Amino acid sequence: MEGIEIRGLTKRYKDVTAVDNLNLTVPEGACLALLGVNGAGKTTAIRMLSCLTRPTSGDAYLLGHSIVGDPRGVKSVLAVSPQETAVAPNLTVSENLKLIARICGSSRQEAARQTEETIASFGLEPVRGKRAGKLSGGWQRRLSIAMALIQRPKILFLDEPTLGLDVLARRELWTVIRALRGSVTILLTTHYLEEAVALCDSIAILNHGRLKALGTEEELLARTGAHDFETAFTMLAAEEETA
């Protein structure tokens, strides 16, 4: 079974087509980067796949669960780290983590254990007792991602996960994401091209809601004839407008 199978996924808002007939497959346990300039349709695609926005047409299957016909099945295998920080401001770091673990079905003891493990792996020990709303933006971001991972999901959507993180925190998160590869199917959007190359098995480039290219770094370099990935990305992302 594929981890993620997207078939003709389309989202229209009045006269704007945010995502246009997207077809894509991500093998189970693989990591796919979804790249594109602002407004390319990355976040809309993630929102549809997370059952947060209903597609205008098309469907997608997450480990066989349809986002249109079986959203509860989708939610049972999925965790999302939204682009914006998503924490409960008046709960402490530890309480935020426990909240998500418990809502996703962990017992009190399991949730306590998962919380301790997550605090350790994300380096949240210094702020564990502090209220999330009082943390700096970087710490809040780190907590927000930790809340997605504490669910032990089979599929993980990371929407710009390292936005606002310093270099050290970004590298720590890379280590965590690398450790998940093989066991968790990951869909990651980012504006940092080196992040996509470093973490993902393959890269999809969106432009005006359409899939412009899909392949490994080497395949995309070969296709464009570019010597570096940034040039390749620029060529592919701008292709449609010059066509």
Partner 1 sequence: MRVWIFGQRTAKEILRDPLSLGFGLGFPIILLLLMTMIQRNIPVSLFELAQLTPGITTFGLSFLCLFSATLVAKDRSGSLIARLRATPMTGSDFFLGYLLPLLPIAIGQMAISYAVALLLGLAWTPRILAAIAVQLPMAVCFLSLGLLCGCLLTERQATSICGALLTNLSAWLSGAWFDLKLVGGAFERVAFLLPFANATEAGRMVLSGETTGLAKPLLIICLYGLAAFLAAALAARRLEHLP
* Residue 29 to residue 185: CA distance in whole angstroms: 4
List contacts with partner 1 (CB under 8 A): 47, 50-54, 72, 75-76, 78-91, 95, 99-100, 102-105, 131, 144, 147-148, 151
87 vs 205 by CB, closer to partner 1: 87
Task: Tell the smallest beta-carbon distance from residue 87 to partner 1 (Å).
Answer: 7
Task: Tell the smallest beta-carbon distance from residue 63 to partner 1 (Å).
Answer: 14
Task: Tell the smallest beta-carbon distance from residue 186 to partner 1 (Å).
Answer: 15
Task: Tell the smallest beta-carbon distance from residue 124 to partner 1 (Å).
Answer: 17
Query: Which long-range contacts (C-beta less than 8 Å, at least 24 apart) are formed by 126-131?
Result: 127/93, 128/92, 128/93, 128/94, 129/92, 129/93, 129/94, 130/92, 130/93, 131/89, 131/90, 131/91, 131/92
Per the structure block, which two tokens stand in for 108?
Answer: 């009190």
96 vs 207 by CB, closer to partner 1: 96
Task: Tell the smallest beta-carbon distance from residue 216 to partner 1 (Å).
Answer: 29
47 vs 208 by CB, closer to partner 1: 47
92 vs 202 by CB, closer to partner 1: 92
Grouping H, G, I as helix, E, B as strand and the rest as coil, residue 97 is helix
**Which positions ≥6 away from 237 have C-beta within 8 Å?**
35, 36, 37, 40, 205, 207, 212
54 vs 171 by CB, closer to partner 1: 54
